[in-house]
Structure 1
Amino acid sequence: MSAINLHKPALATRADNVSIVLSKRRLPRPPIVRVAAALDISGSAKELYESGIIQETHDRMLGIAMKFDDNGEIDTWTFTEGFDRLPTATPDNYGSYITDNVLNNASLRKWGGTKYAPVMADIVNFFFASAEKPQAQKEKRGFFSRLFGTGSEEPAPLPSAPANDMPAWVLFVTDGQNPEPDRQHVEKLLRDSRKFPIYWSLIGVGDPREFAFLRQVAKELPNVGFLHLESLDISDQQIYEQLITEEFCDWVRAK
């Protein structure tokens, strides 16, 4: 029996756990939503990757995608000061995605500092810029990634209007705060992103004192939620209950 087949029952169980929460939220058949994962790969997160916790977290996100994305896929990014846009995660690479595409990928820059805005801008452009523009950006970024292993450290401009109306849900995981100049970019970017059908679930892991900025911006914006977790080492049911909030479900219903 292949490794993929061994993993499939666990993925199905996770998808079932998502369904339980959706039923509690009175959203048993959610509309199609594209799911994205943005994963902090700064120096302080190294242990989370090497211990397998980020792999487990990404696998849980794939359980969410099974219920929201029409293909059960997750578009995935890692970020430090810059970012890398990774191959799309699918049920076929459940259980091995982080090892194969992150830990064993020598071209990714890892274990640096932390900036949120550059990767956030790329996510918006990936989902909502016109078909021609993202390809040009991807080719340009690919060239620099081969040289430096990262995307630009400054946020790219957002499209003036969304090129499509397919909603996107971003699961944004970080274990530390970003510097003050980046916070100014992030606040503006998140405010500007209200014109796109995108919801940001900001997940702060570890010391709660690190996340005052994220907590505040989530309070102010209807398309941004914040979740603090002391640890990612909790049950599937606990993390799904906290991620699939009433606010998010109301947002999805309105799309």
Structure 2
Amino acid sequence: MATNVLSSIDLRKKILQSTLEKKQLTGVTARVGIVLDITGSMRNLYSNGTVQEVVERILAVASKFDDNGSLDVWVYDTEFSRLPPVTERDFQNYVSSSILSNPNIHKFGRNNEPPVMEDVIRKYTVEEDESTPVFIIFINDGGMVKTVRKIITAASVQPIFWQFVGIGDSDFEVLKKLDTMQGRVVDNANFIHMDRIEAVSDEELYDRLLNEFPQWLQAAKAKRIIRS
């Protein structure tokens, strides 16, 4: 079983490699994190294994970009938890063992994004203050509070790119306006919508996830936000 699961990670890394080559991202080093919505409307996606598969698919990105091959993980509803990083050695049943079975994690309440976003920024700019780029995949199924726009604007001077992924059939009013936000040093965020992320192929997922990251890297280097 372990061999089969590990081979699926290896297969995804091969698929990802072709995307990296197409987007001229081979050789890029970046810290990678995932923020997972764990509000009440996400309950079924946790119980049916969809969130576990999302973690595995994003782990392939971390394995390619991060020197340590580790994926930093946060979950949030009205509260948030920063979890130990997940790697290829310990990703099996990660969602069940580290999230659903963890009594210290607040689960299935309402949403409040600013506290978890501020913790992401704190980790990469205070606790680990360096100019290595950070690629954050933020999974959300709607209802995001409007004040996230102020946080994203203020964070545009930081070495963090926010890739928001909307899943489900909400209207994502706040996230749809990211590309037209004014007042940022660089465009540091992108939004993509996938009604059923479990039905999206790895090829399409990686292509869309990495669509604007290359442009941000160039802009952030030009503004000396990250090192060349």
TM-score, scaled relative to structure 1: 0.80
Structure 2 counterpart SS, 1:101: helix
Aligned to 2:156: 194
Q: CA deviation at 1:95?
A: 2.9
Aligned to 1:236: 202
Mapped partners of 1:84, 1:93: distance in 2: 19
Q: CA deviation at 1:27?
A: 2.3
Contact 2:74 2:83 in 1 (8 A): yes
Instruction: Identify the match of residue 183 of structure 1 among 129, 146, 163.
Output: 146
Aligned partner of 2:214: which letter? C
Structure 1 counterpart SS, 2:132: coil
Contact 1:4 1:92 in 2 (8 A): no
Q: CA deviation at 1:89?
A: 0.6
Q: CA deviation at 1:5?
A: 3.6
Mapped partners of 2:19, 2:104: distance in 1: 38
Query: How many residues get paired?
Result: 215
2:85 is equivalent to residue 88 of structure 1: yes
> What are the superposed Cα offsets for residues 134-157 of structure 1, whole Å, 9 maximum, x if unpaired?
xxxxxxxxxxxxxxxxxxxxxxxx
Q: Which runs of 5+ in 2 are unaligned?
A: none
Structure 2 counterpart SS, 1:39: strand
Contact 1:4 1:93 in 2 (8 A): no
Mapped partners of 1:130, 1:201: distance in 2: 22
Contact 1:79 1:116 in 2 (8 A): yes
Q: How does 1:42-121 map to 2 (within 5 A)?
A: 42-121=39-118
Q: Flag the 1:64–1:124 CA change in 2: closer, same or farther, 3 A.
A: same
Contact 2:142 2:170 in 1 (8 A): no
Higher helix share: 1
Instruction: Identify the match of residue 16 of structure 1 among 5, 14, 29.
Output: 14
Aligned to 1:136: none
Q: CA deviation at 1:207?
A: 1.3
Structure 2 counterpart SS, 1:91: coil
Q: CA deviation at 1:130?
A: 4.3
Deviates more, 1:54-63 or 1:235-244: 235-244
Mapped partners of 2:15, 2:39: distance in 1: 30
Mapped partners of 2:127, 2:102: distance in 1: 29
Mapped partners of 2:81, 2:2: distance in 1: 25
TM-score, scaled relative to structure 2: 0.89
Q: Flag the 1:51–1:13 CA change in 2: closer, same or farther, 3 A.
A: same
